[in-house]
Amino acid sequence: MKGAEKMNTSVPKLLSGPAGFAAAGLLLNNLLGFSGALAVGTAVWMALWWIFRPVHIAVTSLLPIAVNAAFTLIPNAHVIEQYFTDIVVLLLGGDLICMAWTTTGLDRRISLRTLCLIGTSLRQQIFVWLSASVVLSAFLPNTVVATIFCPIAVGMLQFVGEKNISSSRLAVPILLAISWGSGIGGFGSPIGSPANLVAISYMEELTGHEFMYVQWIGRFVPILFIIFLCNLLFLWHLKTPAKNFHGTREEFQKMYAELGPMRKGERICFWLFILAILLAFARPLYAAFLPGLKPAYVFLIIGMLMFILRDEKGEVLLTWNFAESHAMWGIMIMASSGLGLGRMIIETGAVGHMAEFLGALHLTGGFVTMFLFCAFACFMSEMSSNTGAASICIPMVISLCGALELNPVPYTLGTVAACSCAYVLPVTTRAIPVGFGLDASVQMREGLKLTLICVVVNATLCWLSMEYLPLFSHL
């Protein structure tokens, strides 16, 4: 009886995806064309299955390959190649490093140390994780930051008794703080995200002179601060079963002291982890003579060392059998799915049709124009990555501003900031906490609310800056 009941409840969930796909294809056919409508329909299918979860979320992430193969929307190779990119390499390398923490006991030591430093107040935990993610992602790729922080946070949560992360209400605000903080911090500095460099390149070409990095910081740090406050207040007001973790700071300090000094295996894992972070930070110093050694490959190389180096017992830090059974392969597929989906939406011409639709709205500038540009950029960032969204949206914004005889600079700045205000679909950076156990449907539900808030706030701030701060609009 229970099996039949389970089947009855799962069938509608299973059919929701294809039904949404078909509905989007029919309704959007005239607007986006057949191929473009099916590409957007694929996004609808994925979103519905991520919410209802009739199959594993990683299986859902393979849908761009399956749909494209069935309907031949674009060449199959263009979709498949998105499933093994620098992001996947980074996640694999970070995963190998963190698995060695488990085998050596470093994960327990780091968890206890984190609790000793931050304390057990949930609000304080949220503030620290969000702040650290924002600050670090202003200088490192977003995925690197999430890859560094998520295993530490999960280890800490499991240590205080939250063994099942997917059902833990205490885990939700902390993992969301890491995911969302890593996203918004990217526009805090010019090097925080490749999307920023795309914007700078276009503006330098547009104005004919160099766009100084200090100019970027002066324009965006105030906006980032307010967006940060929106994120913080939103996370603080999420419903949680408790305001504090189990245990006290004093108890955790005593337990940490009982661990004694770090063993050889722990020390090797710790310092190699620090080395990976430092090399990622120092990328500008060696990029000229080691152009291929991006942070993703630094993490992979150091992760591979875990199979070679030995601990105090003479045993390797990590065996392949352990890695094969414990690696989070699903994260890698999920993180890549947005890139595959984005490639489908771009190459089918759906983006071009959307741009034509915006151009036909007879925009005249001001808040409405700024809001529509920001909303479109955020939508594209949900479908792919913020870099891909910027590469699509910025040329479109500049072109439309030229046709409307508007100054493109403030609208370009608003657009690139909006590319970092996507919080909903579990793709790219947002896939990482989901892979560590965060419920994708919770992220999507809460992320939708915060996306709407932040798009309005960002558009309003950029419009006010454009109207009342002349330096914002001129280089």
Strand partners, 316: 310
How many whole angstroms separate alpha carbon 358 and alpha carbon 305?
51
Q: Is the pLDDT of residue 265 over 90?
A: yes
- Residues 3-36 have pLDDT tens digits of 443 444 588 889 999 999 999 999 999 888 899 9
Q: Where are the domains of the chain?
A: 1-55, 86-189+217-326
Question: Sorting pLDDT into bands at 50, 70 and 90, what band is 212?
Answer: low
Mean pLDDT within 130-158: 86
Q: Is the pLDDT of residue 308 over 90?
A: yes
- Compute the CA torsion angle 156, 162, 164, 169 (nearest 10 deg): -110
- Residues 132-141 have pLDDT tens digits of 999 888 877 7
Mean pLDDT within 253-274: 90
pLDDT at 140: 76
pLDDT at 100: 92
Strand partners, 121: 244
The DSSP letter of residue 319 is: -
- 430 close to 179: Cβ distance less than 8 angstroms: yes
Mean pLDDT within 37-52: 90
**Which of 434, 380, 429 is closest to 91 using CA atoms?**
429
Mean pLDDT within 104-118: 86
pLDDT at 3: 44
* % of the chain beyond a pLDDT of 90: 32
Q: Name the CA radius of gyration of the chain, rounded.
A: 23
Inter-helix orientation angle 2-52/63-71, to 10°: 90
How many whole angstroms separate alpha carbon 234 and alpha carbon 421?
14
Q: Is the pLDDT of residue 172 over 50?
A: yes
More reliable by pLDDT, 160 or 235: 235
How many CA atoms lie within 13 Å of 151's alpha carbon, on the beta-carbon side?
25
Mean pLDDT within 300-321: 93
Highest mean pLDDT among 163-167, 287-291, 435-439, 452-456: 452-456
Angle 408-412-415 from CA coordinates, rounded to 5°: 140
Question: Sorting pLDDT into bands at 50, 70 and 90, what band is 434?
Answer: confident
Both tokens assigned to 350: 């759906």
Question: Sorting pLDDT into bands at 50, 70 and 90, what band is 402?
Answer: confident
Residues 6+ apart with CB under 8 A from 112: 159, 252, 255, 256, 259
How many whole angstroms separate alpha carbon 393 and alpha carbon 355?
9
Q: What is the DSSP string of 244-301?
A: B-SS-HHHHHHHHHHT-SPPHHHHHHHHHHHHHHHHHHTHHHHTTT-TT--HHHHHHH
Q: What are phi and psi of 316, to 5 degrees?
A: -65, 150
Both tokens assigned to 218: 């002066």
Q: Is the pLDDT of residue 1 over 60?
A: no
How many whole angstroms separate alpha carbon 68 and alpha carbon 430?
24
Q: What is the DSSP string of 131-169?
A: HHHHHHHTTS-HHHHHHHHHHHHHHHHHHTT---GGG-T
pLDDT at 319: 94
Question: Sorting pLDDT into bands at 50, 70 and 90, what band is 72?
Answer: very high
Least confident of 142-156, 202-216, 282-296: 202-216
Average pLDDT of the chain? 86
Q: Is the pLDDT of residue 454 over 70?
A: yes
Q: Which residue has the tokens 């630094």?
A: 298
pLDDT at 457: 95
Question: Sorting pLDDT into bands at 50, 70 and 90, what band is 436?
Answer: confident
Q: Is the pLDDT of residue 63 over 50?
A: yes
